């Protein structure tokens, strides 16, 4: 497989950005569409209004009635980090607003699967709730919602996933992606949706003088923004300006030592410095530990961590989550090795090219880890991937990840339309989706998936490109710039962390850990060596180069024994001839 092409982001004119910013940072921000000071505003004052969300009034009325009448409220959560933070947020918010009996249930993925299914409704009905609230799920739960309504239970759906052709018959639905919704941002995570619902509920209760009558202080929902930040980053939704406001404010609370005890505990167990926490820490240190509960055990453990008040108890749960995450990594390692073997054997009979869409299956795979495997293989081979694991009843559960230019949920919708009965169920969004199908249908689905991906890609086919922010001058290799980049903005989906490319001479190199490479690199026109590291790159041929390499890299701040220094993190490289 040939290496990826390096493509540099175009930089539009950006004279309206503040001149106080480093020139490199100004060009980075402009390349992401932030062209003036207003685009850099991350204050809460600029948040989009709640009243533009369709269904918000009906949702608030349901909640208001349940609170005033002291009804039983039961939250139905999802088993990922977005679902867990959503559940914790609404539990805490309703508590602040004087709700009486509030509890939650989260489906165990191995017993019940995803969403508000009829079996989950049966389980929920045993608690005799007056109102069910789904968080980060529900928009595809047609049968479950019908069962709840038939049982006399009101249902409020809060979700952000794309709806199917039929909308469930819930009492109220809040989802910015529902047809006809006027909310300016379609990129809210599930935790963002329920945060907006809580904002609107607070306003309604304030209007009826509820807090004063009950002797309650005015609820400061800003104290929950750390949960919003974590769920938003974990779910890899696009960081448009509205989401960047939410994430930036949540990060600020964490750095100030004002986070939920559970989030602080997860940061401690991951050995991340709370005063300098970034969106990258949430994505790669906190979220995986939280998700490990849903992947291998029960996400109730993660939710209990997020709603806990005792430092000691949260530390204990965080340690359990850390242990689960280690187990997850071990399972993932074996599955990844097997997945690479499968992919390397997948060739068309008339050529050597891989399929455009890859479907992978092994009878021993763990269904809680297939999503990670799909992501790893997608990154390695740069094409949409769905990894499957067998479940009871001769069924397969698949989790998919996509690349730019391929809308994964739309692809599944098209396959279902052209192959009636092939998919048992499916759902998701552009970059990630899940599905269930009969084990005997795997080969037919794999063919249909590849054909649909090729159709979406068109004549251009797969284009493996690494998009960078260009080269740096010698004077730009500085700790000061690295620190500015860390602090500049919450980086994430569609507002990516800065990535540069350039030519370096390899002066020194050594293996550290099991697979990482520490190096001293000298820029082509530079006079001094720079400390660098390439994680997991020990097997790459370029790490044995005695000459020059063309590398894509990030600037980072390395902290060791209280000292901070510049470090180059090499993401990809190739050896230059001669």
pLDDT tops 80 at residue 489: no
pTM for the whole thing? Answer: 0.92
pLDDT at 393 over 80: no
333 in a structural domain: no
Residue 350's pLDDT band (cuts 50, 70, 90): very low
Lowest mean pLDDT, pick from 120-124, 408-412, 558-562: 558-562
pLDDT for position 280? 93
Tell me: pLDDT of 355 over 60.
yes
| Rounded Cα gap, residues 486 and 497, in angstroms | 9
Summarize pLDDT for 251-310 with one digit per residue, the tens.
999 999 999 999 999 999 999 999 999 999 999 999 999 999 999 999 999 999 999 999
Q: State how far the Cα of 245 lies from the Cα of 43, in Å rounded to an integer.
A: 6
Number of structural domains in the chain: 3
> ∠ CA 241-230-132 to the nearest 5 degrees?
100
Domain shared by 429 and 566, yes or no: no
Copy the structure tokens of residue 382.
């740069």
Q: Could you give the C-alpha distances from 46 to 41, 42, 218, 242, 488, in angstroms and in order? A: 8, 7, 21, 8, 18
Does position 194 have pLDDT exceeding 70, yes or no?
yes
Q: Is residue 347 over pLDDT 70?
A: no
Greater model confidence, 221 or 4: 221
Dihedral pair phi/psi, residue 203, rounded to 5°: -60, -45
Is the torsion defined by CA of 539, 542, 546, 550 positive or negative?
negative
| Predicted confidence (pLDDT) at residue 1 exceeds the cutoff of 50 | no
Segment among 9-23, 200-214, 292-306, 336-350 with least mean pLDDT: 336-350
Question: H helices within 208-236, ranges in order?
Answer: 210-213, 225-234
pLDDT at position 195, please? 98
> Do 325 and 284 form a contact (C-beta atoms < 8 A)?
no
Given a cut of 80, is residue 465 above it in pLDDT?
Answer: yes
Q: What is the CATH number of the domain that holds 278?
A: 3.90.1640.30
- Is the pLDDT reported for residue 577 higher than 80? no
> What is 471-493 written as a DSSP string?
---GGG-SHHHHHHHHHH---BT
**Which strand (E) or helix (H) includes residue 30?**
helix 23-31
Q: What's the CA gap between 251 and 229, in Å, rounded?
A: 7
DSSP 189: -
Q: Are residues 177 and 79 in the same domain?
A: yes
The tokens describing 284, both together, are 């790669």
pLDDT band at 568 (very low <50, low <70, confident <90, very high): very high
Q: Give 60-103 pLDDT, tens digit per residue.
A: 999 999 999 999 999 999 989 999 999 999 999 999 999 989 99
CATH assignment of the domain containing 527: 2.40.50.460
Q: Mean pLDDT across the stretch 533-555?
A: 89
Does residue 172 surpass a pLDDT of 90? yes
Residues 180 and 278 in one domain: yes
Strands 172-174 and 154-158: what pairing?
A: parallel
Q: What is the DSSP string of 162-178?
A: PP-SS----SEEE-TTS
Say if CB 364 and CB 394 are below 8 A apart: no
The verdict on 447 and 486 lying in the same domain is no
CA-to-CA separations, 567 to 65, 471, 475, 529, in angstroms, rounded: 56, 16, 14, 11
Report yes or no on 341 lying in a domain: no
Which pair of tokens denotes residue 479? 């700790």
**Length in residues, the chain:** 578
Q: How far apart are the first and last CA of the chain?
A: 22
Q: What is the pLDDT of residue 206?
A: 97
CA-CA distance, 163 to 537, in Å (whole number)?
41
Q: What's the CATH number where 394 sits?
A: 3.10.310.30
Residue 230: give the domain boundaries.
44-323
Residues 166 and 20 in one domain: no
In a domain, 337, yes or no: no
Q: Where does a domain end: 323, 358, 374?
A: 323
Read off the pLDDT band of 515 (50, 70, 90): confident
CB 100, CB 71: distance < 8 Å: yes
Same domain, 301 and 182: yes
Extract the tokens encoding 170.
């819930």
| pLDDT over threshold 90, residue 514 | no
pLDDT confidence tier of residue 2, bands split at 50, 70 and 90: low
Residues 54 and 82 in one domain: yes
If asked whether residues 564 and 446 sit together in one domain, one would say: no
The pLDDT value recorded for residue 352 is 52
Would residue 88 be called left, alpha or beta, if left means φ above 0 and alpha means ψ between -120 and 50 degrees? alpha
Name the strand (E) or helix (H) holding 570.
Answer: strand 563-575
Q: Please report, to the nearest 10 degrees, the dihedral formed by the alpha carbons of residues 406, 408, 414, 417 taken in order.
A: 180
Tell me, yes or no, whether 176 and 275 share the same domain: yes
Over residues 324-342, mean pLDDT? 95
Among 440, 463, 486, the domain boundary falls at: 463
- Strand (E) or helix (H) holding 198: helix 190-207
Mean pLDDT, range 467-486, rounded to an integer: 94
d(CA 571, CA 99): 49
Rounded mean pLDDT, 123-136: 95
Q: Is 562 a residue whose pLDDT tops 90? A: no
């Amino acid at each position: 497989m040939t290496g990826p092409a390096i493509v540099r982001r175009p930089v539009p004119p950006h004279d309206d950005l503040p001149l106080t910013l480093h020139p490199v940072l100004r060009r980075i921000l402009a390349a992401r569409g932030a062209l003036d000071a207003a685009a850099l505003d991350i204050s809460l004052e600029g948040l989009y209004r709640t009243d533009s969300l369709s269904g918000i009034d009906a949702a608030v009325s349901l909640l208001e009635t349940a609170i005033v009448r002291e009804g039983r409220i039961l939250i139905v959560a999802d088993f990922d980090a977005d679902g867990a933070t959503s559940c914790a947020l609404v539990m805490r918010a309703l508590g602040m607003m004087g709700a009486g009996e509030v509890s939650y249930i989260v489906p165990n993925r191995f017993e019940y699967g995803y969403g508000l299914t009829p079996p989950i409704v049966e389980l929920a009905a045993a608690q005799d709730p007056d109102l069910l609230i789904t968080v980060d799920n529900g928009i595809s739960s047609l049968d479950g919602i019908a069962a709840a309504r038939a049982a006399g239970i009101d249902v409020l759906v809060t979700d952000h996933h794309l709806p199917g052709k039929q909308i469930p018959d819930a009492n109220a639905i809040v989802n910015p992606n529902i047809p006809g919704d006027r909310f300016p941002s379609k990129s809210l995570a599930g935790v963002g949706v329920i945060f907006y619902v809580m904002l609107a509920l607070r306003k309604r209760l304030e209007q009826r003088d509820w807090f004063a009558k009950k002797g309650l202080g005015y609820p400061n929902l800003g104290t929950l923004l750390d949960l919003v930040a974590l769920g938003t980053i974990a779910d890899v939704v696009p960081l448009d300006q509205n989401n960047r406001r939410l994430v930036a404010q949540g990060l600020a609370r964490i750095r100030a030592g004002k986070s939920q005890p559970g989030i602080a505990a997860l940061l401690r167990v991951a050995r991340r410095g709370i005063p300098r926490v970034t969106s990258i820490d949430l994505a790669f240190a906190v979220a995986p530990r939280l998700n490990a509960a849903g992947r291998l055990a029960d996400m109730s453990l993660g939710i209990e961590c997020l709603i806990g008040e005792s430092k000691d108890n949260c530390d204990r749960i965080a340690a359990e989550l850390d242990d689960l995450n280690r187990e997850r990594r071990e399972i993932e390692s074996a599955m990844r090795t097997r997945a690479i073997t499968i992919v390397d054997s997948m060739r068309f009979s008339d050529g050597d090219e891989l399929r455009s869409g890859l479907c992978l299956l092994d009878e021993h795979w763990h269904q809680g880890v297939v999503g990670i495997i799909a992501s790893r293989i997608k990154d390695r081979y740069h094409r949409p991937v769905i990894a499957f694991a067998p479940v009871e009843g001769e069924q397969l559960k698949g989790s998919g990840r996509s690349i730019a230019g391929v809308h994964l949920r739309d692809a599944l919708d098209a396959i279902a339309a052209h192959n009636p009965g092939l998919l048992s169920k499916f759902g998701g969004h552009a970059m990630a989706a899940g599905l269930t199908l009969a084990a005997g249908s795997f080969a037919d689905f794999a063919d249909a998936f590849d054909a649909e991906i090729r159709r979406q890609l068109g004549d251009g086919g797969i284009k493996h490109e690494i998009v960078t922010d260009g080269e740096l001058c010698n004077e730009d290799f500085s700790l000061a710039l690295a620190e500015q980049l860390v602090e500049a903005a919450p980086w994430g989906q569609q507002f990516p962390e800065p990535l540069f490319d350039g030519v370096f001479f390899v002066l020194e190199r050594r293996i550290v850990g099991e697979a990482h490479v520490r190096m001293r690199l000298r820029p082509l026109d530079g006079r001094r060596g720079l400390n660098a590291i390439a994680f997991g790159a020990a097997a790459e041929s370029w790490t044995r180069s005695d000459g020059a390499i063309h590398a894509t890299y990030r600037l980072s701040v390395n902290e060791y024994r209280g000292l901070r220094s510049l470090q180059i993190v090499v993401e990809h490289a190739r050896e230059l001839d001669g």
